[in-house]
Amino acid sequence: MSTDATRDEICVVACAEAFRGDGEIMASPMLPVPALGARLAKKTFAPDLVLTDGVAAMQEWGVVEGWMPYRKVFDVVWWGRRHVFMGASQLDRFGNQNLSCIGDWRKPSSQLLGVRGAPGNTICHTTSYWVPKHGKDVFVESVDLVSGVGYDRAAALGPLAGRFHEIRVVVTNLAVLDFDTPDHRMRLRSVHPGVPVDEVLAATSFELVVPPSVPETRRPSTAELELIRAGLK
């Protein structure tokens, strides 16, 4: 493993690892770091991934090679054969996401993107999140408005509605988090090299589940680092 990788490059690898084992699914990374991660995964250990621009264009290394009618996109979404990487303005301990507004929704202090497709994404297929700045303003006790559905709300909908629900990982500039706990509370999976556990805890408003031993996030191999720095060409 390369010891000179930057934090950004480690985050790209962490996003790539989120797609490991997915097989032939539609990968829809919405932001640059997860997009690089999805391309790295396809180039190395996940050749069956179908890369998209997040909507209907089918891409290969940034070049549009096909187009899917928009109604067909929804067929794939509802079938559960998609893994989307979204951003989050707020996340709580069960993975409920807000990207709509900050403050009381009837008169918010900040208006953001809106609910968008987050409810359908989170219920119908695997979802992961990329948070470039881990802080208490993002990792909150309770989100101001639920855009993406977390584990507690998905469970309340019943087994049929939540059969495809999976919040796989949250990758931040400090750590990788998941929900691999009995009650699906957010857990600290790994910390990035040089980041102490206490720094992650101090930047989170709620209590994280912390295993007895927290590993470091995997560094890129020399070959992976070469691909990332070459623009994955």
DSSP string, 26-60: EEEE-SHHHHHHHHHHHHTT-TT-EEESSSSEEEE
- Per-residue pLDDT band for 2 (boundaries 50, 70, 90) equals low
CA 16 to CA 35: how far, in whole Å? 9
Q: Report the DSSP beta bridge partners of residue 128.
A: 85
Domain 7-229 sits in CATH 3.40.1130.10: no
Backbone angles phi, psi at 75, to 5 degrees: -60, -45
Is the distance from CB of 186 to CB of 208 less than 8 angstroms? yes
CA 69 to CA 142: how far, in whole Å? 37
128 vs 121: which has the higher pLDDT: 128
Per-residue pLDDT tens digits for 26-38: 888 888 999 999 9
The full set of domain ranges for the chain reads 7-229
Residue 55: per-residue pLDDT: 62
Q: Which of 61-70, 81-90, 99-108, 162-171 has the lowest mean pLDDT?
A: 61-70
Per-residue pLDDT tens digits for 170-203: 999 999 999 999 999 999 999 999 999 999 999 9
pLDDT value at 70 more than 90: no
Residue at 81: amino acid letter = R
Is the distance from CB of 201 to CB of 208 less than 8 angstroms? yes
Residue 195: per-residue pLDDT: 97
pLDDT value at 230 more than 90: no
| Mean confidence (pLDDT) of the chain | 90
Residue 125: per-residue pLDDT: 92
Residue at 8: amino acid letter = D
Secondary structure class of 96 (helix, strand, coil): coil
pLDDT value at 45 more than 70: yes
The tally of CA atoms less than 13 A away on the side-chain side of residue 10 is: 23
Backbone angles phi, psi at 87, to 5 degrees: -90, 175
- Per-residue pLDDT band for 113 (boundaries 50, 70, 90) equals confident
- Extract the tokens encoding 146: 């639920």
DSSP string, 155-211: HHH-TTTTTT-EEEEEEESSEEEE--STT---EEEEE-TT--HHHHHHT-SSPPB--
- Per-residue pLDDT band for 58 (boundaries 50, 70, 90) equals low
DSSP state for residue 88 in the 8-state scheme: -
Q: How far is CA 88 from the centre of its chain?
A: 9
- Per-residue pLDDT band for 86 (boundaries 50, 70, 90) equals very high
Instruction: Give pTM, 2 decimals.
Output: 0.92
pLDDT value at 87 more than 90: yes
75 vs 142: which has the higher pLDDT: 142
Helix (H) or strand (E) segment spanning residue 66? strand 63-67
59 vs 91: which has the higher pLDDT: 91
Residue 53: per-residue pLDDT: 66
